[in-house]
Structure 1
């Protein structure tokens, strides 16, 4: 991001290993990044609706679809219907490549849909590309 601003990312994923790999790939990008974590959609909404100095509102949300309590599609619909949250870019980052998940995500106004690659190097590269785009190319509010 221009001016050396820290990119604040909220990773919403119930899988600890995936969340750790996402965090490591984001941090490996060389730029300043602040990473928050929520283990399901409801926890993400709770964080987003009550930001504080310890957990400021993110610049970007990386959202898994298949999670307990509240899944990604329901969380995405809530985020994009909330006037205070809908401007935050949401990238769906999930193992599903089902056409219905892709279509449903975009219908709920996902900003991008990325299938998690199974190979570690490809997984890290995909997250690095997301990081690079939102850090170096996209203009965020």
Structure 2
């Protein structure tokens, strides 16, 4: 678990596929990642979560983002948050099945922290989430 001033950091998963959501939850459990995980099923829902008034759950500082979603896809969501001064510093990791160079270029031009192709096997997915967790725990985040 990674924290900010000993408060567990919340992670926002933006994913429309229920199987992928369950896989992320399973990978978190296998890696003993106990950070709160908020779920949004598309970019519009994610913006609602991020722009909602403060609650007991700290605002997410890390976003795991799928690209191919209904209503508002990942690239459109990235454009929106990068233009918003309140959200522009979010660390976003793309986790997608899209291996298109255009998607990778668009994502990196919008300052993603990483672009990860969803592996087919659960073991590889668990290993990928473990690597992300190692990265997060090494990073310092502003308050």
Q: Could you tell me which of 12, 24, 27 is aligned with 1:10? A: 12
TM-score of the pair, normalised by structure 1: 0.91
Matching residue of 1:72: 74
Matching residue of 2:141: 140
Matching residue of 2:99: 97
> After the TM superposition, which residues 50-69 of structure 1 pair with which residues of structure 2 at under 5 Å, given as runs?
50-69=52-71
Alpha-carbon shift at residue 32 of structure 1 (Å): 3.1
The secondary structure found in structure 1 opposite 2:11 is strand
Equivalent pairs, count: 140
Q: Which runs of 5 or more structure 2 residues have no equivalent in the other structure?
A: none
Alpha-carbon shift at residue 11 of structure 1 (Å): 0.3
CA contact (8 A) 1:11 1:35 kept: yes
Superposed CA RMSD in Å reads 1.6
Q: Which runs of 5 or more structure 1 residues have no equivalent in the other structure?
A: none
